[in-house]
Amino acid sequence: DTGVSQNPRHKITKRGQNVTFRCDPISEHNRLYWYRQTLGQGPEFLTYFQNEAQLEKSRLLSDRFSAERPKGSFSTLEIQRTEQGDSAMYLCASRRGHSPLHFGNGTRLTVT
Partner 1 sequence: DQQVKQNSPSLSVQEGRISILNCDYTNSMFDYFLWYKKYPAEGPTFLISISSIKDKNEDGRFTVFLNKSAKHLSLHIVPSQPGDSAVYFCAASPSSGSARQLTFGSGTQLTVLP
Residues that bind partner 1 (CB under 8 A): 4, 31, 33, 35, 40-45, 48, 50, 55-56, 58, 91, 93, 98, 100-106
Q: Using alpha carbons, select from 60, 6, 2, 9 the residue that is nearest to residue 32.
A: 6
Nearer to partner 1, 76 or 102 (CB): 102
Nearer to partner 1, 20 or 57 (CB): 57
User: From the CB of 35, what's the least distance to partner 1, in Å?
Assistant: 8
Q: Using alpha carbons, select from 111, 108, 112 the residue that is nearest to residue 6.
A: 108
User: From the CB of 5, what's the least distance to partner 1, in Å?
Assistant: 11
SS3 content of the chain, % helix, strand, coil (to 5): 5, 50, 45
User: From the CB of 1, what's the least distance to partner 1, in Å?
Assistant: 13
Nearer to partner 1, 14 or 102 (CB): 102
User: From the CB of 43, what's the least distance to partner 1, in Å?
Assistant: 5
Contacts of 17 (CB under 8 A, 6+ apart): 81, 82
Q: What is the CB neighbour count within 10 angstroms for residue 6?
A: 23
Structure letter (DSSP) for residue 11 = E
Nearer to partner 1, 12 or 81 (CB): 12
